[in-house]
Amino acid sequence: MANLASLDQIPSVCGGGGGGFFDTPQGYGLDMLAFHDYGGASLFDMLQQPTPPQTLMVKPAPQASTMLETSEVVNTPPTNSSSLSSSSNEPVNDVDQENNTRSDDAQEKNANKQLKPKKKNQKKQKGPRFAFMTKTEVDHLDDGFRWRKYGQKAVKNSPFPRSYYRCTSASCGVKKRVERLTEDPAVVVTTYEGIHIHPCPVTPRGMLPETATYGGLGGGGGSSYILPQFHYQQPLRPFFHNQTNSLSFNNTTTPSSYSHYLQERQSCPPSMSSSLHRDQGLLQDMVSFQIRKEEPKVEPS
Protein backbone atom coordinates (compact mmCIF):
# COMPACT_ATOMS: atom_id res chain seq x y z
CA MET A 1 0.00 0.00 0.00
CA ALA A 2 1.25 3.28 -0.89
CA ASN A 3 2.22 5.69 1.69
CA LEU A 4 0.61 8.83 0.80
CA ALA A 5 3.07 10.75 2.46
CA SER A 6 5.58 11.20 4.57
CA LEU A 7 5.89 10.10 7.95
CA ASP A 8 9.22 11.74 7.68
CA GLN A 9 7.53 14.99 7.73
CA ILE A 10 5.83 14.43 10.91
CA PRO A 11 8.75 14.90 13.17
CA SER A 12 9.37 18.25 11.77
CA VAL A 13 5.83 19.19 12.19
CA CYS A 14 5.14 17.96 15.58
CA GLY A 15 8.44 18.97 16.82
CA GLY A 16 9.35 22.47 17.53
CA GLY A 17 8.67 22.37 21.18
CA GLY A 18 4.98 22.09 20.89
CA GLY A 19 4.60 25.20 18.91
CA GLY A 20 3.11 23.38 16.04
CA PHE A 21 -0.52 23.29 15.39
CA PHE A 22 -2.26 20.73 13.41
CA ASP A 23 -5.06 21.19 11.12
CA THR A 24 -6.82 18.87 8.92
CA PRO A 25 -6.42 19.76 5.34
CA GLN A 26 -9.50 21.81 5.67
CA GLY A 27 -8.14 23.79 8.45
CA TYR A 28 -9.56 22.26 11.55
CA GLY A 29 -7.92 22.80 14.79
CA LEU A 30 -7.37 19.53 16.45
CA ASP A 31 -6.41 18.32 19.79
CA MET A 32 -4.84 15.33 18.35
CA LEU A 33 -4.09 14.00 15.01
CA ALA A 34 -3.31 10.43 14.28
CA PHE A 35 -1.46 9.10 11.34
CA HIS A 36 -1.61 5.52 10.55
CA ASP A 37 -0.05 3.34 8.04
CA TYR A 38 -1.52 -0.02 8.41
CA GLY A 39 -0.31 -1.19 5.14
CA GLY A 40 -3.76 -2.07 4.10
CA ALA A 41 -4.50 -4.36 6.96
CA SER A 42 -7.83 -4.25 8.60
CA LEU A 43 -8.25 -3.50 12.22
CA PHE A 44 -8.75 -7.09 12.89
CA ASP A 45 -5.75 -7.99 10.96
CA MET A 46 -3.79 -5.47 12.83
CA LEU A 47 -4.58 -7.22 16.01
CA GLN A 48 -2.59 -10.08 14.80
CA GLN A 49 0.29 -8.10 13.61
CA PRO A 50 3.49 -8.85 15.42
CA THR A 51 4.89 -5.67 14.12
CA PRO A 52 3.07 -2.57 15.12
CA PRO A 53 1.85 -0.25 12.49
CA GLN A 54 3.20 3.14 12.19
CA THR A 55 1.16 5.07 14.52
CA LEU A 56 1.66 8.54 15.59
CA MET A 57 -0.38 10.70 17.75
CA VAL A 58 0.27 14.31 17.66
CA LYS A 59 -0.70 16.69 20.30
CA PRO A 60 -1.00 20.12 18.91
CA ALA A 61 -0.20 22.88 21.20
CA PRO A 62 -3.03 25.01 22.38
CA GLN A 63 -3.36 28.06 20.37
CA ALA A 64 -5.01 31.25 21.14
CA SER A 65 -6.61 31.64 17.81
CA THR A 66 -7.89 28.17 17.58
CA MET A 67 -11.45 27.32 18.11
CA LEU A 68 -10.44 24.74 20.58
CA GLU A 69 -11.29 25.40 24.11
CA THR A 70 -9.83 22.30 25.44
CA SER A 71 -6.19 21.73 25.34
CA GLU A 72 -3.57 19.40 26.54
CA VAL A 73 -5.83 16.52 26.03
CA VAL A 74 -3.01 14.17 26.21
CA ASN A 75 -2.06 15.17 29.63
CA THR A 76 -5.42 15.98 30.95
CA PRO A 77 -7.88 13.92 29.12
CA PRO A 78 -11.39 15.08 29.70
CA THR A 79 -12.11 12.05 31.65
CA ASN A 80 -14.85 11.84 34.05
CA SER A 81 -14.51 8.93 36.30
CA SER A 82 -18.03 9.22 37.43
CA SER A 83 -20.37 6.44 36.68
CA LEU A 84 -22.46 6.18 33.64
CA SER A 85 -25.41 7.41 35.54
CA SER A 86 -24.18 10.83 34.81
CA SER A 87 -25.05 10.36 31.23
CA SER A 88 -28.67 10.82 31.87
CA ASN A 89 -28.45 13.64 34.26
CA GLU A 90 -25.29 15.47 33.87
CA PRO A 91 -23.45 14.83 30.73
CA VAL A 92 -19.92 15.81 31.11
CA ASN A 93 -18.02 18.55 29.45
CA ASP A 94 -19.74 20.51 26.86
CA VAL A 95 -21.80 17.66 25.81
CA ASP A 96 -24.41 18.81 28.18
CA GLN A 97 -24.12 22.17 26.65
CA GLU A 98 -25.11 20.67 23.44
CA ASN A 99 -27.80 18.61 24.96
CA ASN A 100 -29.32 21.53 26.64
CA THR A 101 -29.40 23.33 23.43
CA ARG A 102 -30.81 20.45 21.65
CA SER A 103 -33.41 19.76 24.24
CA ASP A 104 -34.58 23.25 23.76
CA ASP A 105 -34.91 22.65 20.12
CA ALA A 106 -38.12 20.77 20.38
CA GLN A 107 -40.00 23.54 22.00
CA GLU A 108 -38.24 26.28 20.24
CA LYS A 109 -38.85 24.89 16.87
CA ASN A 110 -42.50 24.94 17.62
CA ALA A 111 -42.30 28.47 18.79
CA ASN A 112 -40.77 29.81 15.68
CA LYS A 113 -40.69 27.66 12.70
CA GLN A 114 -39.49 30.34 10.45
CA LEU A 115 -36.83 31.56 12.72
CA LYS A 116 -34.79 28.53 13.40
CA PRO A 117 -33.37 28.49 16.87
CA LYS A 118 -29.81 27.87 15.98
CA LYS A 119 -27.42 27.47 18.74
CA LYS A 120 -25.76 30.58 19.77
CA ASN A 121 -22.43 29.10 20.36
CA GLN A 122 -22.34 26.49 17.74
CA LYS A 123 -18.91 27.58 16.75
CA LYS A 124 -17.58 26.90 20.13
CA GLN A 125 -15.60 23.84 20.48
CA LYS A 126 -17.43 21.16 22.33
CA GLY A 127 -14.60 18.99 23.25
CA PRO A 128 -11.37 17.53 22.18
CA ARG A 129 -11.03 16.84 18.55
CA PHE A 130 -9.14 14.11 16.91
CA ALA A 131 -8.53 13.46 13.31
CA PHE A 132 -7.76 10.27 11.59
CA MET A 133 -6.50 9.91 8.13
CA THR A 134 -7.76 6.74 6.68
CA LYS A 135 -7.24 5.33 3.31
CA THR A 136 -10.49 3.74 2.46
CA GLU A 137 -13.08 3.71 -0.19
CA VAL A 138 -15.95 4.25 2.12
CA ASP A 139 -16.56 7.56 3.70
CA HIS A 140 -18.17 6.50 6.86
CA LEU A 141 -15.93 4.21 8.81
CA ASP A 142 -17.53 1.82 11.15
CA ASP A 143 -15.92 2.46 14.48
CA GLY A 144 -18.34 0.62 16.66
CA PHE A 145 -20.51 3.49 17.57
CA ARG A 146 -23.68 4.36 15.86
CA TRP A 147 -23.75 7.57 13.98
CA ARG A 148 -26.46 9.53 12.39
CA LYS A 149 -25.76 11.73 9.51
CA TYR A 150 -27.21 15.13 9.98
CA GLY A 151 -25.67 17.12 7.25
CA GLN A 152 -23.49 17.29 4.26
CA LYS A 153 -21.76 20.29 2.91
CA ALA A 154 -19.72 21.11 -0.08
CA VAL A 155 -16.35 22.23 1.02
CA LYS A 156 -14.53 25.08 -0.48
CA ASN A 157 -11.58 24.09 -2.58
CA SER A 158 -12.62 20.52 -2.45
CA PRO A 159 -14.65 18.53 -4.90
CA PHE A 160 -15.71 16.24 -2.12
CA PRO A 161 -18.48 17.07 0.28
CA ARG A 162 -18.05 16.94 3.98
CA SER A 163 -20.43 14.81 5.94
CA TYR A 164 -21.52 15.48 9.47
CA TYR A 165 -22.44 12.74 11.86
CA ARG A 166 -23.70 12.72 15.36
CA CYS A 167 -23.65 9.89 17.82
CA THR A 168 -27.10 8.39 18.02
CA SER A 169 -26.90 7.90 21.71
CA ALA A 170 -29.40 10.17 23.32
CA SER A 171 -27.14 11.79 25.82
CA CYS A 172 -24.02 11.75 23.77
CA GLY A 173 -23.12 14.77 21.80
CA VAL A 174 -20.13 13.44 20.02
CA LYS A 175 -19.87 14.42 16.43
CA LYS A 176 -17.68 13.55 13.62
CA ARG A 177 -16.92 14.95 10.25
CA VAL A 178 -15.90 12.96 7.32
CA GLU A 179 -14.31 14.32 4.24
CA ARG A 180 -11.90 13.30 1.59
CA LEU A 181 -8.60 14.79 0.87
CA THR A 182 -8.50 16.81 -2.22
CA GLU A 183 -4.97 15.73 -2.77
CA ASP A 184 -5.86 12.10 -2.55
CA PRO A 185 -9.48 11.12 -2.77
CA ALA A 186 -8.61 7.75 -1.39
CA VAL A 187 -7.87 9.28 1.95
CA VAL A 188 -10.70 10.02 4.28
CA VAL A 189 -10.25 12.50 7.05
CA THR A 190 -12.40 11.67 10.00
CA THR A 191 -12.57 14.28 12.66
CA TYR A 192 -14.11 13.36 15.96
CA GLU A 193 -15.39 16.00 18.25
CA GLY A 194 -16.34 15.40 21.79
CA ILE A 195 -16.27 12.43 24.04
CA HIS A 196 -18.58 9.52 24.25
CA ILE A 197 -20.22 9.28 27.60
CA HIS A 198 -21.63 5.89 27.02
CA PRO A 199 -20.34 2.48 26.26
CA CYS A 200 -19.91 1.27 22.80
CA PRO A 201 -23.25 -0.04 21.65
CA VAL A 202 -21.87 -3.08 19.98
CA THR A 203 -20.07 -6.07 21.23
CA PRO A 204 -17.07 -7.35 19.43
CA ARG A 205 -17.18 -10.78 18.11
CA GLY A 206 -15.68 -13.28 20.42
CA MET A 207 -14.93 -10.78 23.07
CA LEU A 208 -16.91 -9.70 25.99
CA PRO A 209 -16.46 -6.31 27.41
CA GLU A 210 -15.55 -7.45 30.85
CA THR A 211 -13.74 -10.54 29.97
CA ALA A 212 -11.74 -9.38 27.10
CA THR A 213 -8.10 -9.30 27.71
CA TYR A 214 -7.10 -5.87 28.58
CA GLY A 215 -3.47 -5.42 28.68
CA GLY A 216 -3.67 -1.80 29.39
CA LEU A 217 -0.99 0.43 28.19
CA GLY A 218 1.64 -1.25 30.09
CA GLY A 219 0.59 -4.57 28.78
CA GLY A 220 2.42 -6.49 26.31
CA GLY A 221 1.98 -8.04 23.12
CA GLY A 222 -0.51 -7.10 20.48
CA SER A 223 -1.69 -4.25 18.59
CA SER A 224 -3.28 -1.19 19.80
CA TYR A 225 -6.12 0.75 18.49
CA ILE A 226 -6.38 4.29 19.23
CA LEU A 227 -9.75 5.54 18.47
CA PRO A 228 -9.91 8.60 20.54
CA GLN A 229 -13.58 8.97 20.35
CA PHE A 230 -13.99 5.79 22.17
CA HIS A 231 -13.94 7.36 25.45
CA TYR A 232 -16.72 7.25 27.82
CA GLN A 233 -17.09 7.59 31.45
CA GLN A 234 -18.15 4.14 32.17
CA PRO A 235 -15.50 1.97 33.66
CA LEU A 236 -15.76 -0.59 30.98
CA ARG A 237 -12.75 -2.26 29.66
CA PRO A 238 -11.79 -1.73 26.13
CA PHE A 239 -12.49 -4.56 23.88
CA PHE A 240 -9.17 -4.43 22.25
CA HIS A 241 -5.86 -5.13 23.67
CA ASN A 242 -3.99 -2.07 24.40
CA GLN A 243 -0.33 -2.05 24.34
CA THR A 244 1.88 0.82 24.46
CA ASN A 245 4.76 -0.96 23.12
CA SER A 246 2.94 -1.64 19.98
CA LEU A 247 3.01 1.96 19.16
CA SER A 248 5.78 3.68 17.55
CA PHE A 249 5.98 7.11 18.81
CA ASN A 250 7.59 9.92 17.24
CA ASN A 251 10.33 11.03 19.43
CA THR A 252 9.01 14.48 19.56
CA THR A 253 5.82 13.39 21.12
CA THR A 254 5.69 12.45 24.67
CA PRO A 255 5.00 8.80 25.04
CA SER A 256 4.21 9.18 28.63
CA SER A 257 1.66 11.77 27.94
CA TYR A 258 0.31 9.78 25.15
CA SER A 259 0.18 6.75 27.28
CA HIS A 260 -1.69 8.62 29.82
CA TYR A 261 -3.99 9.77 27.20
CA LEU A 262 -4.49 6.29 25.99
CA GLN A 263 -5.09 5.14 29.45
CA GLU A 264 -7.96 7.44 29.67
CA ARG A 265 -9.30 6.30 26.41
CA GLN A 266 -11.17 3.19 25.92
CA SER A 267 -11.34 1.67 22.60
CA CYS A 268 -14.19 -0.08 21.07
CA PRO A 269 -14.20 -2.68 18.40
CA PRO A 270 -15.77 -2.42 15.08
CA SER A 271 -19.31 -3.44 15.20
CA MET A 272 -20.50 -6.84 14.48
CA SER A 273 -22.03 -5.63 11.34
CA SER A 274 -18.84 -4.08 10.37
CA SER A 275 -17.32 -7.44 10.07
CA LEU A 276 -19.49 -7.91 7.12
CA HIS A 277 -17.53 -5.39 5.25
CA ARG A 278 -14.22 -5.43 6.82
CA ASP A 279 -12.64 -4.85 3.55
CA GLN A 280 -14.28 -1.64 2.88
CA GLY A 281 -15.06 0.42 5.80
CA LEU A 282 -13.10 -0.20 8.88
CA LEU A 283 -10.44 2.04 10.07
CA GLN A 284 -8.17 -0.24 8.34
CA ASP A 285 -6.10 1.74 6.09
CA MET A 286 -5.08 4.68 8.00
CA VAL A 287 -2.35 6.38 6.26
CA SER A 288 -0.10 9.17 6.88
CA PHE A 289 -0.55 12.10 4.74
CA GLN A 290 1.02 15.30 3.99
CA ILE A 291 0.04 17.63 6.64
CA ARG A 292 0.23 21.05 5.91
CA LYS A 293 0.54 23.97 6.68
CA GLU A 294 1.63 26.99 8.26
CA GLU A 295 2.33 26.53 11.81
CA PRO A 296 0.95 29.25 13.86
CA LYS A 297 3.51 31.22 15.55
CA VAL A 298 2.07 30.72 18.93
CA GLU A 299 4.92 30.23 21.21
CA PRO A 300 4.41 27.93 24.09
CA SER A 301 5.23 29.83 27.11
In this chain, which of 40, 151, 185, 220 binds DNA, going by CB under 7 A? Answer: 151
Q: Which of 168, 251, 256, 273 binds DNA (CB under 7 A)?
A: 168
What does 14-55 look like in DSSP terms, one character per residue?
H-TTTT---B-TT--B-SEEEEEE-TT--HHHHHH-SSPPEE
Q: Which is nearer to DNA, 5 or 131 (CB)?
A: 131
- The Cα 262–Cα 249 span in angstroms is 13
Beta bridge partners of 167: 147
* Residue range at the interface with DNA (CB under 7 A); choices 52-60, 165-173, 265-273, 292-300: 165-173
The site string for DNA over 92-131 (x = CB under 7 A, - otherwise) reads ---------xx--x--xx---xxxxxxxxxxx--------
Q: How far is the CB of 138 from DNA (least distance, A)?
A: 11
Residues between 24 and 53 with contacts to DNA, criterion CB under 7 A: 26, 28
Q: Cβ 148 to DNA, closest distance in Å?
A: 4
With respect to DNA, which residue has the nearer C-beta, 162 or 237?
162
Tell me the number of residues near DNA by CB under 7 A.
40
Is residue 180 close enough to count as binding DNA by CB under 7 A? no
- Residue 38: burial class (beta carbons within 10 Å; 0-12, 13-18, 19+): buried
- Tell me if 156 contacts DNA by CB under 7 A: yes
With b for 16 or more beta-carbon neighbours within 10 A and e for fewer, the 165-183 pattern comes to: bbbebebbbbbbbbbbbee
- Quote the least distance from Cβ 157 to DNA, whole Å: 7
Smallest distance, DNA to C-beta of residue 202, A: 12
The gap from C-alpha 146 to its chain's centroid, in whole angstroms, comes to 14
Question: How many whole angstroms separate alpha carbon 133 and alpha carbon 130?
Answer: 10
- Considering only residues 257 to 296 of the shown chain, the ones binding DNA according to CB under 7 A are none
- Single out the residue of 6, 9, 97, 152 in contact with DNA (rule: CB under 7 A): 152
- Pick one of 59, 135, 175, 180: the residue that binds DNA (CB under 7 A): 175
Core vs surface per residue 10-26: b (16+ CB within 10 A) or e: beebbeeebbbbbbbbb
Query: For residues 88 and 168, which CB has a smaller minimum distance to DNA in the complex?
Result: 168
> Could you tell me the smallest distance in angstroms from the CB atom of residue 120 to DNA?
6
Nearer to DNA, 83 or 168 (CB): 168
Cβ atoms within 10 A of the Cβ of 152, count? 14
Minimum Å distance from CB 8 to DNA? 29
* DSSP string covering 118-166: --TTTTS--S-EEEEEEE-S-SS---SS-EEEEEEEE-TT-SSEEEEEE
For DNA, the closer of residues 38 and 165 by Cβ is 165
Distance CA(128)–CA(182), nearest Å, equals 25
Q: Which residues are near DNA by CB under 7 A?
A: 26, 28, 67, 101-102, 105, 108-109, 113-123, 140, 146-157, 162-166, 168, 175, 177
